[in-house]
Amino acid sequence: MPTEPSNLSRRDLLKSAVGTSVVGSLAMAGTAAAENPATAKLPPEDFKASGKRIKQSVMAWCFNPMPMEELIPACAKMGLVGMEGLDKKWYPLMKEHGLKVSLAQGHSFKEGPVDSSLHPMLEARLKESIDTAAEWDCKNVITFTGMSVEGQSFDQGTKNCVDFFKKIVPYAEEKNVTLVLEHLNSRDDSHPMKGHPGYFGDDVDHCIDIIKQVDSPNFKLLFDFYHVQIMNGDVTRRFQQLLPYIGHLHTAGNPGRCEIDENQEMNYAAIIRAVAESDYDGYVVQEYIPTWDDKIAALRHGVALCDV
């Protein structure tokens, strides 16, 4: 009967076998995802979301360089009711296809009110964005804290944000528009749109503190499940607890800001059920960067999963 090599213990052999199995499984999962995974339940090409409990939109930048002339009708066909993250020159084509502007662009996430020297520029940009939102019957405009300022204290950065938002929010109230402050993760440094090292508002509880200090129904949180999962976790319970302060929702799989299928760590079927069972009546926006060869099929899969 063969004996184990003298320099390897049973534990070493077991670790080697398990490691090989795990690496092989992950490699197969990654390959499957890129080719539209057979493990995912893919909806038919003529699938159209009912929109009964979840109002869905998509972040258009995730599909670059796909032409908007292709993406816009495809989104309408699969039952989306809105789009965001695209130049306003495309708004008329969206309207032709029955799509609303779910979120108007505000300013760069790199430049925010944490830096008080930027306040005049940010005020002008946000007022312009609020006007655009009002013109197109869009309820939300995105805003950010910006990147931390070297040498500035945490408390001073927070005060700068609160002071600025208190100044701009009355204009949003006047136009019946809500500013939604996005919390972003600062951990992922693999891609400029997957994580944002140095972002000041990287703790969702800190963002909520800023929102509470501003104290306006027209200033809320953009709760992105992907970013919250990376920085804080416990996403379903956090969504439920923070619901009174949430004005907009984004999805993406983690790690990798990929499709919301079973090849990432969050159970979106359960998350979306919690959203559907809550009082939330805003948009659920697909904001993952497709890894599948067929990007429209990747979007259709996420839309179908969220159509509960």
Paired tokens of 202? 């990287």
The pLDDT assigned to 246 comes to 98
For 179, the 3-state DSSP assignment is strand
Looking up tokens 């077991």 gives: 14
pLDDT for the residue numbered 41: 77
pLDDT reported for residue 24: 38
Question: Who contacts 19 (Cβ-Cβ below 8 Å, separation ≥6)?
Answer: none
What's the count of helices (H) and strands (E) in the chain, helices before strands? 10, 8
| Cα separation values, 203 from 228, 238, 277, Å | 8, 12, 26
**Which amino acid does the sequence have at 22?**
V
- Phi/psi region, residue 233 (left: phi>0; alpha: psi -120 to 50; beta: rest), is left
Task: Report, as ranges of residue numbers, the positions in the chain whose pLDDT lies below 50.
Answer: 1-34, 38
pLDDT for 298? 97
Give the bridge partners for 147, in sequence order: 199
The amino acid that residue 117 corresponds to is S
As to burial, measured by CB atoms within 10 angstroms (0-12 exposed, 13-18 middle, 19+ buried), residue 265 is exposed
Burial class (CB in 10 A: 0-12, 13-18, 19+), 189: exposed
- The one-letter code for the residue type at 124 is A
The whole-angstrom separation of Cα 118 and Cα 113 is 6
Residue 135 corresponds to which tokens in the numbers above? 């013109």
